[in-house]
Amino acid sequence: MAAILALIRPLAWINTMLLRIGRTVAWVSMALMVLIIVLQVIFRYVFNNALPWPDEAARFLMLWMTGLIAPSAYRWGGFVSIDLVKDMLPLRIGRLLTLCLLFVSLLVLVVGLQYGIKHVNSGWLFASSTLKLPLEFIGLGLVRLKLAWMYMSLPIGIFLMILVNIELSLKSIVGLIDPEQEIPSDQDHLVISAE
């Protein structure tokens, strides 16, 4: 039991730090996405001259926002779930069911990570049609952004969800072995839910 708790504490701390950074980047991405969409609406309907890049830039930001906020939602139980069956079962059997479901989720996430990495690798072959980096100041001119930078949101988000899954699985094991054992909690979630 002590060994599992010794694993949970640093993993929970790492997850807390990584997910806090991810949420910050996700909120900034959402704000930028809204600003870019408003800019496009103004140019399209007020000036009758739509810009070529806002749609793809908003999609880029939306993918990163989703990839970085999903692990926090997973950690906090924010995804849709049906707890009726688990709640009807005796405590230990319900926790065993939760552990089994976490294991199945881990398998799905590992397969998703493999596909996500393959997708990123194919993204290095193609460049964005409208997103360009202005690198004239170092003599490179306009450099088209590779789609791999957009696709990277998928494996990074899945990797963070794998870390969260491992933390949740370890906590479930502790709860299954000793239901009375105090388990380290996610301090970020406690602060946000208290507000």
| Nearest by Cα to 163 from 27, 22, 30 | 22
Amino acid 116 reads G
| Packed helices 54-75 and 2-41: angle between N→C axes, nearest 10 degrees | 150
Least confident segment among 7-16, 103-112, 172-181: 172-181
Q: What is the C-alpha end-to-end distance of the chain, expressed in Å?
A: 33
pLDDT-derived band at 193 (thresholds 50, 70, 90) equals very low
Rg (CA), the chain: 21
Please count the structural domains in the chain: 1
Distance of alpha carbon 17 from alpha carbon 177, whole angstroms: 28
Cα-Cα-Cα-Cα torsion 183, 1, 105, 10, nearest 10 degrees, comes to: 60
- Give me the percent of the chain exceeding a pLDDT of 90: 56
pLDDT class of 192 with cuts at 50, 70, 90: very low
Q: With contact defined as beta carbons under 8 Å apart, do 19 and 187 qualify?
A: no
CB 110 within 8 A of CB 158: no
Reported as a single tens digit per residue, the pLDDT across 149-160 is: 999 999 999 999
The pLDDT, as a whole number, for residue 94 is 86
Type of residue numbered 110:
V
**Stronger pLDDT, 22 or 178, i.e. the higher one:** 22
Could you list the residue range(s) of the whole structural domain that residue 173 is in?
2-194
Mean residue pLDDT of the chain comes to 88
Query: What tens digit of pLDDT does each residue of 51-77 get?
Result: 888 999 999 999 999 999 999 999 998
